């Protein structure tokens, strides 16, 4: 048989996933000799074998790759024939082109779980058990390439046994960088709030379980930060946690022991089970069996955020308890999650009773991801642990771009080598600590990905701290591009759907709380015609006063009055009389403040008007409660009016509110809430039809935080599709402001001549 020698470059997520041992196994199987190495480009092979075997070998690489590997490209070149005596793994080398992937954090795998429950195994009851197929990655990597000395495990010298595993190509822990055991790795401790050591090592889980069972609140060091954990069945302790965290109603995520336990509280379809047990293991919003189950965790809601254990600690904890636990990010109000040991006792001294800590550093914070299943596919609301910083291959451009993101639910994004990398969830940048964490994360990404931007993209809102301080975030002059908030929302949905055609036009519907509009008003109920180069505003909800400015977010009843004022002027007092009504009506009479076209504010106003949420305790609460009030058998909708004004379709409020007021005492709240949602979906359809007629465009993009509303989203898709529209929605990039940075980056990729990718 004829033999030849090949050089093969494999690009993608091929390091830290057991790729070289996998190659080694295949080489043995097909009797191929040569060498394999990690490079800063990916994996490099130089191999000699029979021609037919080489072909099978290459197919097997593609088809049988390790679970966490992603192959983006295999480049094969024949080279001068060379005889090799064997197949071996050789030392990593650098080609000078750093282009590596950083793996997201991975849930502990089944093989490792088996070991921690096996009394004869040396990792029995060891919380930090990992292997090549599982464990933390993004939160332990300080720099690339992914070698042990570049991770926080450089502090731990492997014992003989661990080293043998690490060096044995047949072992599941071959080159597993965080490899360790109870003898040589990190140790776990349980302290009380005065830093007195209670127990350590194997005794921690049982003790922690007892404390949780007896109503204590425990801070637990996880993968990307601390959690606060307590008994979800104990309403009193959940209330106490709310009091201490100053978080009155915002739902808490609940960790379930397993699918079986979860099914005692929520309905799960096959897709939801698949996602809950995936290695990303996000929090998933699932429908409760009954609305009042685990009431304190999710007051007034039909849905509960549930997730399953994903670290050794949580599996071991559930060996000793048999009830669900509240498991929420350890932070104060909405600040960034705490992940530094030195801060934990100080910052949580009034919140946690006990602390579970291990002596291994977390490089960077990374919250739990949150999503839901919509039309049988995932729909992420927060893209973080398990998903970030996975890259999204998108377009070919040589520029390096930094998208600063929005202010709330912030993520930023970098673009380099044809890939967009979204940061983990950072949060609301309004607080000092969170903004500090944002700057820290940007610097970390610059270092980790060897990145520096040529272009920096910002939101047009002049008061966003990241927009304001963009020059401080980087230390040299770069090109700056501002982009309108809702346009960025819509573009982020195109990234999510991998739409490459720059000129292709879409109907864009961007509904959210607020974003800065180019006319100086606050936009948020927008209908656009757009492509990747430009947008045209084609319609919007009518402008409405926000009496008290930002205060309307916390006090949605002010918005209710504002809509009523449009209809009845001072007579509005007849329909909505509160202590402050006259005062607000006075403000409205001489209104000089800012106007908004926000769809989010409309949901707020209706929610307050129905008495469902008069004052909001967290962002989005009025709309969420309104959605949760819906009587799903409602088919009717309200009357409304669309006016053509200055070339825009304007959704008017007068007729809509007149109809709501007419029915408010005649129908149930559930029916009115249902009718209202049906009306909004109908407005979406109605204007889409007008725009299709006018522009000949048939594809509709739905983006913005309002589309976290499951009922509205599904209803809109349903009726648009019935009317032969093609509908694009979000999946892996959040529809809310957490996706803005991806849209910003996409826009800037068009700001230059395109180049053809070279390998
Ligand atoms: Zn494992
Ligand atoms: Zn060891
Ligand atoms: Fe937004």
| pLDDT at 44 (0 to 100) | 94
CA of 709 to the centre of ligand 3 (A): 14
The DSSP call for residue 118 is -
Could you tell me which of 715, 351, 269, 727 has the C-alpha nearest to residue 508? 727
Please check whether residue 533 is in contact with residue 526, taking contact to mean a CB–CB distance below 8 angstroms.
no
CA of 511 to the centre of ligand 1 (A): 42
pLDDT higher than 50, residue 468:
yes
Percent of the chain with pLDDT over 70: 98
Q: Identify the residue whose tokens are 């304007």.
A: 650
The DSSP call for residue 705 is G
Confidence of residue 97 (pLDDT cuts 50, 70, 90): low
pLDDT higher than 70, residue 303:
yes
* Over residues 724-734, mean pLDDT: 98
Sign, CA dihedral 67-68-74-76, equals: negative
What stretches of 371-527 show up as alpha helix (H) in DSSP? 432-448, 465-468, 470-473, 485-496
- From the CA of 114, the nearest ligand is 1
pLDDT higher than 90, residue 313:
yes
pLDDT higher than 60, residue 98:
no
* Over residues 13-27, mean pLDDT: 89
CA of 701 to the centre of ligand 3 (A): 15
- For every residue of 258-299, DSSP letters joined together read SHHHHTTTB---HHHHHHHTSTT--EEEEEBSSTTTTGGGST
In this prediction the pTM is: 0.94
pLDDT higher than 60, residue 754:
no
| Beta-strand relationship, 413-416 and 377-382 | unpaired
CA of 705 to the centre of ligand 3 (A): 6
| pLDDT at 15 (0 to 100) | 82
Q: How many CB atoms lie within 10 A of CB 568?
A: 18
Per-residue pLDDT tens over the stretch 566-622: 999 988 888 888 888 999 999 999 999 999 999 999 999 999 999 999 999 998 999
Cα end-to-end span (Å), the chain: 32
* Over residues 399-416, mean pLDDT: 96
Could you tell me which of 173, 181, 165 has the C-alpha nearest to residue 18? 173
Could you tell me which of 364, 300, 296, 303 has the C-alpha nearest to residue 143? 364
Catalytic residue among 24, 38, 417, 678, which? 38
Our answer to whether residue 686 is catalytic in this structure is no
How many H-runs (helices) and E-runs (strands) does the chain carry? 23, 31
Sign, CA dihedral 574-580-586-587, equals: negative
**Among the listed ranges 214-223, 407-416, 475-484, 744-753, which one has the minimum average pLDDT value?**
744-753
Structure tokens at 488: 């960025």
CA of 489 to the centre of ligand 3 (A): 7
Per-residue pLDDT tens over the stretch 315-342: 999 999 999 999 999 988 778 999 999 8
- From the CA of 311, the nearest ligand is 1
Catalytic residue among 20, 172, 382, 537, which? 20
| pLDDT at 99 (0 to 100) | 59
Buried b (16+ CB within 10 A) or exposed e, 81-110: eeeeeebebeebeeeeebbbbbbbbbbbbe
pLDDT higher than 80, residue 757:
no
- From the CA of 514, the nearest ligand is 3
- From the CA of 107, the nearest ligand is 1
pLDDT higher than 80, residue 275:
yes
Q: How many CB atoms lie within 10 A of CB 583?
A: 13
Per-residue pLDDT tens over the stretch 63-92: 999 988 999 899 999 999 999 999 998 887
pLDDT higher than 50, residue 49:
yes
Q: Which residue has the higher pLDDT, 14 or 225?
A: 225
CA of 132 to the centre of ligand 1 (A): 6
The DSSP call for residue 692 is H
- Distance, CA of 495 to CA of 490 (rounded, Å): 9
Per-residue pLDDT tens over the stretch 210-231: 999 999 999 999 999 999 999 9
| pLDDT at 714 (0 to 100) | 98
Percent of the chain with pLDDT over 90: 87
CA of 433 to the centre of ligand 3 (A): 22
| pLDDT at 285 (0 to 100) | 98
CA of 71 to the centre of ligand 1 (A): 21
CA of 171 to the centre of ligand 1 (A): 12
- From the CA of 123, the nearest ligand is 2
Our answer to whether residue 63 is catalytic in this structure is no
Per-residue pLDDT tens over the stretch 497-528: 999 999 999 999 999 999 999 999 999 999 99
């Amino acid at each position: 048989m004829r033999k030849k020698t090949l050089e093969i470059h494999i690009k993608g997520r091929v390091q830290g996933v057991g790729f070289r041992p996998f190659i080694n196994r295949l080489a043995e199987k097909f009797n191929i000799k040569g060498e394999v190495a990690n490079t800063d480009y990916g994996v490099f092979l130089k191999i000699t074998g029979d021609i037919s075997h080489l072909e099978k070998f290459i197919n097997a690489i593609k088809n049988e790759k390790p679970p966490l590997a992603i192959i983006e490209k295999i480049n094969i070149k024949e080279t001068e024939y060379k005889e090799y005596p064997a197949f071996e793994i050789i030392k990593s080398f650098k080609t000078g082109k750093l282009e590596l992937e950083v793996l997201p954090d991975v849930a502990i795998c089944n093989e490792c779980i088996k070991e921690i429950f096996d009394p004869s195994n040396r990792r029995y009851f060891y919380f930090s058990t990992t292997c090549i197929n599982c464990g933390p990655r993004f939160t332990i990597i300080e720099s690339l390439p992914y070698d042990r000395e570049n991770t926080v495990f450089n502090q731990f010298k492997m014992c003989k046994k661990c080293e043998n595993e690490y060096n044995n190509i047949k072992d599941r822990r071959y080159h597993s960088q965080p490899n360790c055991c109870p003898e040589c790795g990190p140790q776990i401790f349980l302290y009380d709030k005065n830093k007195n050591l209670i127990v350590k090592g194997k005794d921690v889980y049982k003790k922690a379980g007892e404390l949780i069972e007896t109503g204590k609140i425990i801070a637990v060091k996880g993968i990307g930060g601390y959690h606060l954990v307590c008994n979800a069945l104990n309403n009193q302790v959940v209330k106490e946690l709310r009091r201490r965290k100053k978080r009155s109603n915002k739902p808490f995520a609940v960790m379930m022991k397993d699918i079986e336990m979860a099914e005692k509280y929520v309905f799960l379809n096959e897709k939801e089970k698949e996602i809950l047990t995936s290695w990303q293991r996000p929090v998933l919003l699932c429908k409760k069996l009954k609305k009042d189950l685990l009431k304190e965790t999710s007051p007034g809601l039909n849905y509960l955020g549930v997730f399953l254990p994903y670290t050794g600690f949580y599996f071991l904890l559930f060996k000793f308890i048999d009830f669900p636990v509240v498991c929420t990010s350890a932070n104060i109000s909405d600040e960034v999650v705490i992940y530094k040991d030195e801060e934990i006792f100080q910052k949580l001294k009034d919140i946690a009773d006990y602390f579970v800590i291990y002596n291994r550093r977390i490089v960077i914070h990374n919250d739990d991801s949150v999503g839901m299943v919509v039309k049988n596919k995932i729909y992420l609301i927060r893209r973080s642990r398990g998903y970030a910083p996975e890259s999204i291959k998108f377009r070919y451009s040589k520029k390096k771009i930094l998208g600063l993101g929005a202010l709330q639910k912030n993520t930023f994004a970098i673009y380099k080598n044809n890939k967009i990398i979204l940061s983990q969830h950072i949060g609301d940048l309004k607080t000092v600590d969170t903004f500090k964490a944002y700057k820290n994360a940007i610097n970390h990404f610059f270092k980790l990905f060897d990145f520096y931007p040529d272009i920096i993209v910002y939101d047009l809102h002049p008061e966003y701290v990241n927009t304001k301080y963009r020059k401080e975030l980087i230390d040299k002059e770069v090109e700056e591009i501002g982009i309108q908030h809702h346009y960025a929302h819509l573009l982020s949905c195109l990234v999510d759907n991998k739409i490459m055609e720059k000129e292709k036009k879409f109907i864009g519907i961007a509904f959210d709380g607020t974003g800065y509009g180019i006319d100086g008003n606050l936009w948020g109920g927008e209908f656009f015609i757009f492509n990747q180069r430009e947008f045209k505003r084609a319609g919007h909800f009518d402008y409405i006063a926000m009496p008290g400015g930002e205060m309307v977010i916390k006090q949605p009843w002010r918005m209710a009055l504002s809509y009523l004022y449009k209809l009845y002027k001072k007579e509005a007092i007849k329909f909505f009389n509160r202590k402050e009504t006259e005062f607000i009506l006075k403000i409205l009479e001489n209104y000089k403040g800012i106007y908004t076209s926000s769809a989010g504010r409309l949901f707020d106003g209706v929610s307050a008007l129905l008495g469902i949420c008069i004052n909001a305790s967290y962002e989005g609460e009025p709309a969420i409660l309104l959605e949760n009030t819906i009587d799903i058998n409602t088919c009717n909708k309200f009357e409304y009016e669309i006016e053509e004004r200055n070339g825009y379709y304007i959704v008017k409020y007068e007729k809509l509110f007149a109809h709501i007021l007419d029915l408010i005492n005649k129908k149930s709240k559930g029916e009115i809430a249902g009718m209202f949602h049906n009306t909004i979906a109908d407005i979406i359809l109605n204007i889409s039809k007008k725009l299709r007629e006018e522009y000949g465009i048939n594809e509709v993009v739905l983006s913005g935080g309002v589309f976290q509303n499951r009922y509205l989203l599904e209803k809109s898709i349903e009726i648009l599709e019935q009317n032969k529209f093609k509908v694009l929605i979000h999946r892996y990039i959040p529809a809310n402001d957490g996706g803005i940075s991806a849209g910003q980056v996409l826009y800037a990729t068009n700001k230059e001549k395109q180049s053809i990718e070279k390998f």
